[in-house]
Amino acid sequence: MRAREFVTEAQSKFHDWQLGPMTGMKRYPGIDNSNPYHMWRFLVAAAGMPKSDDIDPTLPMAKDGPLGQKLSTLSYTPADAAILDATAKLFGEEGVEVSTQESTEPLDTNKSSPIKAFKGYGKRELENLSVS
């Protein structure tokens, strides 16, 4: 393929026969399709838009979230944290702590189960259980 051919190919627009099955297609020049994070944020925001009348244009959503485009990890156990710290060291990186290891529930979270406590099966019930 000659350079002129692929330069021309890159500058070409869709043909009518190509646009036919792509109804309602839009292009967003400010969102790079090679960045999956921006695409993900856009589509998550789209999932929360029941109708266009509900959008408040005075509150724009940033393409980058609170962490920007930087890698973020969660460690639920000290072992997880040790693995992530060792991996970061291997890469010559140092993680910046955003939250602590302490887990707290939001105040409106119900912390008691609505299910009645179960004391377990008695000895007689266990003897009658058979495993096939």
Token duo for residue 38? 């921006």
Spatial separation of the C-alpha atoms in residues 37 and 43, rounded to whole Å? 10
Q: Which of 62, 61, 67, 33 is nearest to 49 (CA)?
A: 61
- Answer yes or no: pTM beyond 0.75: no
In the block, residue with structure tokens 């710290």: 85
Read off the pLDDT of residues 51-110 as tens digits, 9 standing for 90 and up. Answer: 666 666 666 777 777 777 777 888 888 899 899 899 989 889 888 888 877 777 778 888
Read off the pLDDT of residues 107-120 as tens digits, 9 standing for 90 and up. Answer: 888 878 888 877 77
Read off the pLDDT of residues 31-47 as tens digits, 9 standing for 90 and up. Answer: 777 878 888 888 887 77
In angstroms, what CA-CA distances link 49 with 2, 9, 28, 43, 85?
46, 36, 17, 10, 38
Spatial separation of the C-alpha atoms in residues 12 and 21, rounded to whole Å? 18
Region for 47 from its dihedrals, namely left if φ exceeds 0, alpha if ψ lies in -120 to 50, beta otherwise: alpha
Tell me the three state secondary structure of residue 65.
strand
